Amino acid sequence: MKRRVHDLAVMGGAPAFDEHLHVGRPNIGDRSRFLERMNNILDRRWLTNQGVYVNEFENRVAEFLGVRHCIAMCNGTVGLEIAIRALGLTGEVILPSFTFVATAHALQWQEITPVFCDIEPDGHCIDPLRVEEMITPRTSGIIGVHLWGAPCRIEELSEIARRRNLKLLFDASHAFGCSHLGKMIGSFGDCEVFSFHATKCVNTFEGGAVVTDDDGLAAKIRLMKNFGFQGYDNVIYIGTNGKMDEASAAMGLTSLESMGDFIAANKRNFEEYERELAKTPGVRLLPYDRDESRNFQYMVVEIDEERAGLNRDELLFVLHAERVLARRYFYPGCHRMEPYRSYFPHAGLLLPITEKVCRRVLSLPTGQAVGTEQVVIIADIIRVALSHAAEVRSRLSANTCHTEKV
């Protein structure tokens, strides 16, 4: 436990943990069940090309979400790229800058201009009021991001898309297992895209999926993710290789079977963080809506420097010294990454909330690799550092490179 300021590693104390605690360390599930599936794959010698496990995974996901179609992909980024192309998006597409850069890259890769829109201050999702201001004659669609597993303002975005004749796609990478008004995320907009990357609550090692209730769109996406093949030696459409392999699907099925345990561990950790940080000045843990299904995958705090005494990056350095590898999601914002900062050097003037949130957000470790004992220690580190903020800042200032090292 860290009780005194000199117990902190940045002040000369020993690190709190022998091994690094990561944000998004992979959940594994039932190892024996996964290995059984892997042996079946090897026995059948059917390793890819829409095998039995990919088919089963797609059916299980579609049934769970209550959608007509799930098209499994090699990863979520390719899922976004194919969905964007299948929807016929061109010109400009409006999306938040406060998202993983893949959301923007999936557009720019296809020479579609990402138009960055500001977010709402509390939930960090795209602000529908600002979307209207960004629409031009070149706008063909909107991408909403269900950040931290919390849904965008789906009804408002849907109304704008309908009224302005725009396509509406949701990046649901964070939101598998989450609901909106009692309905599972996955069936909103023209389609939604999930990531099943290793860091996600449910994972397929690498993987993703596009889900939709649109039969025609689903058929087009299936063609596009497999070179345009319709049957043997019959290519009828332009496409690429976006297929999920059998080993990934086997991991996905195993992960689905343990999803309840993964979510229970995340929820337990969230409730412990909530208790431990409740009275810590300047630290706001983003809440979850308990009336909806949530995967509790992200432990996101905002650090208010004026009240906390340290800024987010200073606290991050303190945690890293303790081997707590908290993350600055999604710093510094897509608009400040290349090529976008060169294309739109003044975009930040239109994104005041995004700029503010990018300087304040910190994601803390969770998942099955983290227990309540570790959460208590992490909270102790934060409390001790902030209650002795002046001393900690003075020590950090002696290391002029500390902000570059985090």
User: Which tens digit of pLDDT belongs to each residue from 219-251?
Assistant: 999 999 999 999 889 999 999 999 999 999 999
Each domain of the chain, given as residue ranges in start order, spans: 5-27+259-326+365-405, 31-257
**Three-class DSSP category at 14:** coil
CB atoms within 10 A of CB 172: 30
Is residue 325 within a helix (H) or strand (E), and if so which, with residue range? strand 324-325
End-to-end distance of the chain based on CA atoms, in angstroms? 23
CA distance 290 to 287: 9
Length of the chain, in residues: 406
Residue 228 backbone class (left: φ over 0; alpha: ψ -120 to 50; beta: rest): left
Residue 401, pLDDT score: 53
User: Which tens digit of pLDDT belongs to each residue from 334-348?
Assistant: 999 999 999 999 999
User: Which tens digit of pLDDT belongs to each residue from 362-376?
Assistant: 999 999 999 999 999
User: Which tens digit of pLDDT belongs to each residue from 107-120?
Assistant: 999 999 999 999 99
pLDDT band (50, 70, 90) for residue 121 = confident
Nearest to 337 by CA among 96, 104, 106, 111: 104
Q: Any idea which fold 31-257 has? A: Aspartate Aminotransferase; domain 2 (3.40.640)
Q: Any idea which fold 5-27+259-326+365-405 has? A: Aspartate Aminotransferase, domain 1 (3.90.1150)
pLDDT of 400 over the 90 cut: no
Nearest to 320 by CA among 38, 22, 13: 22
pLDDT band (50, 70, 90) for residue 399 = confident
User: Which tens digit of pLDDT belongs to each residue from 173-227?
Assistant: 999 999 999 999 999 999 999 999 999 999 999 999 999 999 999 999 999 999 9
pLDDT of 328 over the 60 cut: yes
Residue 312 backbone class (left: φ over 0; alpha: ψ -120 to 50; beta: rest): alpha
3 vs 355, more confident: 355
pLDDT band (50, 70, 90) for residue 1 = confident
What average pLDDT does range 66-86 have in this prediction? Answer: 98
Give me the residues paired with residue 92 across strands: 113, 139
Identify the sign of the CA torsion 40, 44, 49, 53: negative
Residue 406, pLDDT score: 56
Is residue 93 within a helix (H) or strand (E), and if so which, with residue range? strand 92-96
pLDDT of 402 over the 70 cut: no
Q: Which residue type sits at 290?
A: R
Percent of the chain past pLDDT 70, that is, above it, reads 98
CA distance 242 to 282: 44
129 Cβ partners below 8 Å, 6+ apart?
Answer: none
**Three-class DSSP category at 63:** helix
Question: Both tokens of residue 312?
Answer: 């987010």
pLDDT band (50, 70, 90) for residue 13 = very high
- Backbone angles phi and psi of 113, in degrees to 5: -80, 120
**Three-class DSSP category at 396:** helix
pLDDT band (50, 70, 90) for residue 11 = very high
Q: DSSP string spanning 257-305?
A: HTHHHHHHHHHHHHHHHHHHHTT-TTEEEPP--TTS------EEEEE-H
Question: Both tokens of residue 178?
Answer: 């989450």
